[in-house]
Structure 1
Amino acid sequence: MQSNKLRMAIRATAAVVVAGMAGQAGAVSFNAGGWDSSVYGYASLKASYDIDENAASSTRSFNYSGINVGAAEDNEATGYFGADAFQSRIGFKTTSPEGVTFNVEGDFRGGGGGSLRLRHAYGSYNGILAGQTWSNFTSFVGSTSTLDFDSLPGLAGYQSRTPQLRYTTGALSISAEQPQNSIEGAGAAAKDGMPALTARFEDSSGGLSYSAAVLAQQLGYDTGTSDESAFGFATFVAAKIALSDMISIQGTLSFTEGASSYLYRAGVASAYVAPNGDVETISGYGGSIGAGFNLGNGRSMNLGVGMTEVDLDDGVADGVIAASTTQSVAAVMANYKWTPVKNVMMGVEYQYGMREVQSGDDGDANRLLFAAQYNF
């Protein structure tokens, strides 16, 4: 019984991280003709104050590319405030009498913010899922809960949604997905020659929850006269352990070769076209670690650190990648959240981020984030 309770707690925490904050989720449920259905979502306000940089994106998330480096950091603008409600979402989920589940969900982050964006649109039956949802090369097991919608760099896997065909049996899931590729120097000639293939194992035992996954993909280009390709792969491990009813520790580790899009928040190409026409892959690694503290009475605190780094030396030496390209990013986030009443969450978060480019120039930024979320 205790093991089941711990599993439920861990899965509930993972669901909170997916929502981007620790609010209590609700839903308007009903049954019609044997179909079990629910309408769910939330209204969310995010407000940020960038102390020494203008480093906010839509939903007021940390935009690491907005951190100035080198001499530009000495001339940075200070004191930027902004607020939006683009993270607000709505979804519909229903299960037929035969056990077929359908889910459609959207938010308002599309087009830079304000227009409807499709998040989930899939059906599933008897372990087979088809449509768009979280990539199978993703896990929230080792994620630290943050108010920042995009969270820490270095989390496990793609951390977003993609069209796919997936089969799940027990703790094992395999999938064929739309690849997420970019090749510096390939331009419009870049192509996907095959789906991205993934396998993920995720389970829990006692107070420990864990996940591991691998991904393989082909990336290349075809100009009509020249056709070159290479294979890329990625892997991650993630874990969370409940030390007590009040304290948890979680973390992730990732490595990629020719799959930088799957190194969360790395923000660089997966490969580049060398002067001789070959496709040269780019390697990278990342990770995160954090702790959560349940203070009781709907209050909690979370502290997390994350980073990514890629190897751009060969690409710069070949004259294909600019020395001003981001090589590494890192962040520290600490937040306090409270639930004054059921289905309402408010919180504040301090964020410190760093960016370094391949030339060695670096910079940092400090910011504050406020959030209010009303679930239904």
Structure 2
Amino acid sequence: MQSNKLRMAIRATAAAAVLGVAGQAGAVSFNAGDYEMSVYGYARLNASYDVDSDQALSTRSGSFDGLVNNDDAPDGHFGADAFQSRIGVTTMTPQGVKINVEGDFRGSGGGSLRLRHAYGEYNGVLMGQTWSNFTSFVGNTATLDFDSMPGAAGYQARTAQARYTSGPLSIALEEPNSSFVSDAANLAQKDALPALTARLEDSAGGMSYSAAVLAHQVGYDTGSDDESAVGFATFVAAKMALSDMITVQGSLSYTDGANSYLYRSGDNFGAASAYVDGSGDVETISGYGGTIGAGIDLGGGRSVNIGYGLVEVDWDDAEDDGVAVADQSETNSAAMANYKWTPVQNVMMGVEYQFLKRENVSGDDGDASRILFAAQYNF
């Protein structure tokens, strides 16, 4: 019984629980001729109170940017917005082709429509933009923070791709995502090949699990000089039901030359993947991270979730080679605890405490406490 419940949670509503995605189980469905149509989405209010420095992004998500040396920063900041609200349409054609288009209002800093998903899928072949194949929600703990915790498995974002899925295995070619720590190299950065990803995701007994690998090229081309290196990333993630009430979950990640895929490892999201040394060679930068958490179902639509996430980037080689990395983030971490309540179907309210901490290569650090509130109404 536990296995069936967990499998349904992972496959049908994991993204909804973790990142606030509207589950299509509550969608408005109808037929247009031989086409099956579903319209889904939600309206959501996010509010935050920053006890210390103002760390709020749009959707009131917590940012690691500006966190260092924040002791003298003004404290006590309140804000609210509804930018996370979204709407999507799914169509199933008579031939069995699925088409999904979805957007929210987080674009251009908040308030503008932003494309999230736009893809078609037939017989296991998917093309378009959706969650990166190098992503899993299996090990994520449910947070009210839209951007979730550092160290979550994989990219945790959507990207253009061509993917093939057969059973629990999926392989994809994706839009590459990399960066250099050197601004000069960024000007000549070249993406010559797509990123290659492979993921296995399944469940057995009371456990669901996921593992993935990614390889991509990071390089530059000035016209006279052309250098590159291969970067890779990997993660494992799992969720286990200890009882009908309690689940534990977590993930571990390692990257070398692919820190863009090490979630929330930089100023706010991915750190640099490589640097260019004095001889012009591309040198990769490694990093690692992980999360751990627990969810407690209190019954009556009430739940408590606690979690911790951490990422660390190894800048030693870059520093030894004379690259200016003192202001780069070496460690980002976050701890959170929340209470969520569903008073009636399709309505969720919650409150969350969040503690963010950052330490730079220079040794300078900073931290901040935040309180979040959310109210979401699904359709």
Residues 155 and 263 of structure 2 are in contact (CA less than 8 Å); yes or no, is this contact kept in structure 1? yes
1:218–1:176 Cα change, 3 Å: same
Residue 289 of structure 2 is aligned to residue 290 of structure 1: no
Q: How far is the alpha carbon of 1:2 from its aligned partner? A: 6.0
User: In structure 2, what is the Cα distance between the partners aligned to 1:58 and 1:79?
Assistant: 17
User: In structure 1, what is the Cα distance between the partners aligned to 2:125 and 2:287?
Assistant: 32
Q: How far is the alpha carbon of 1:13 from its aligned partner? A: 4.4
In the alignment, what sits opposite 2:368? 365
Q: SS where residue 175 of structure 1 aligns?
A: strand
Residue 343 of structure 2 is aligned to residue 352 of structure 1: no
In the alignment, what sits opposite 1:48? 48
In the alignment, what sits opposite 2:139? 142
- The alignment-based identity, stated in percent, is 70
In the alignment, what sits opposite 1:113? 110
Q: How far is the alpha carbon of 1:274 from its aligned partner? A: 1.1
User: In structure 1, what is the Cα distance between the partners aligned to 2:272 and 2:309?
Assistant: 20
Residue 37 of structure 2 is aligned to residue 37 of structure 1: yes
Listed one character per residue, the Cα deviations across residues 169-204 of structure 1 (whole Å, up to 9, x for unaligned) are: 000000000001111221221011110000000000
User: In structure 1, what is the Cα distance between the partners aligned to 2:12 and 2:355?
Assistant: 27
Residues 103 and 120 of structure 1 are in contact (CA less than 8 Å); yes or no, is this contact kept in structure 2? yes
In the alignment, what sits opposite 2:179? 182
* Alignment match of 1:83 (pick from 60, 64, 80): 80
Listed one character per residue, the Cα deviations across residues 307-352 of structure 1 (whole Å, up to 9, x for unaligned) are: 1000112222323233011111000010001011111110000000
Residue 13 of structure 2 is aligned to residue 16 of structure 1: no
User: In structure 1, what is the Cα distance between the partners aligned to 2:126 and 2:239?
Assistant: 26
Residue 27 of structure 2 is aligned to residue 27 of structure 1: yes
User: In structure 1, what is the Cα distance between the partners aligned to 2:169 and 2:130?
Assistant: 17
In the alignment, what sits opposite 2:228? 229
Question: After superposition, where does 1:128-207 map in structure 2 within 5 Å?
Answer: 128-185=125-182, 186-207=185-206
TM-score if structure 2 supplies the norm length? 0.96
1:23–1:94 Cα change, 3 Å: closer
Residues 258 and 271 of structure 1 are in contact (CA less than 8 Å); yes or no, is this contact kept in structure 2? yes
User: In structure 2, what is the Cα distance between the partners aligned to 1:68 and 1:189?
Assistant: 30
Question: After superposition, where does 1:187-266 map in structure 2 within 5 Å?
Answer: 187-266=186-265
Residues 24 and 375 of structure 1 are in contact (CA less than 8 Å); yes or no, is this contact kept in structure 2? no
User: In structure 1, what is the Cα distance between the partners aligned to 2:143 and 2:66?
Assistant: 20
What one-letter code is carried by the residue in structure 2 that aligns with 1:316? E
User: In structure 2, what is the Cα distance between the partners aligned to 1:262 and 1:327?
Assistant: 15
1:133–1:349 Cα change, 3 Å: same
Runs of 4+ in 1 over 4 A off after TM superposition: 21-25
Q: SS where residue 113 of structure 1 aligns?
A: coil
What one-letter code is carried by the residue in structure 2 that aligns with 1:218? Q
Residues 21 and 145 of structure 1 are in contact (CA less than 8 Å); yes or no, is this contact kept in structure 2? no
Q: SS where residue 7 of structure 2 aligns?
A: helix
- Structure 1 residues 158-167 or 33-42, which shifts more? 33-42
1:129–1:107 Cα change, 3 Å: same
User: In structure 1, what is the Cα distance between the partners aligned to 2:55 and 2:326?
Assistant: 21
TM-score if structure 1 supplies the norm length? 0.96
5+ residue gaps, structure 1:
none
- Structure 1 residues 323-332 or 308-317, which shifts more? 308-317
User: In structure 1, what is the Cα distance between the partners aligned to 2:156 and 2:324?
Assistant: 26
User: In structure 1, what is the Cα distance between the partners aligned to 2:345 and 2:24?
Assistant: 7
Q: How far is the alpha carbon of 1:287 from its aligned partner? A: 0.0
User: In structure 2, what is the Cα distance between the partners aligned to 1:23 and 1:54?
Assistant: 32
The number of equivalent residue pairs is 373
User: In structure 2, what is the Cα distance between the partners aligned to 1:163 and 1:18?
Assistant: 22
User: In structure 1, what is the Cα distance between the partners aligned to 2:18 and 2:128?
Assistant: 18
Q: How far is the alpha carbon of 1:25 from its aligned partner? A: 5.8
1:39–1:55 Cα change, 3 Å: same
Q: SS where residue 65 of structure 1 aligns?
A: coil
* Alignment match of 1:272 (pick from 272, 275, 279): 275
Q: How far is the alpha carbon of 1:234 from its aligned partner? A: 0.1
Q: SS where residue 80 of structure 2 aligns?
A: strand
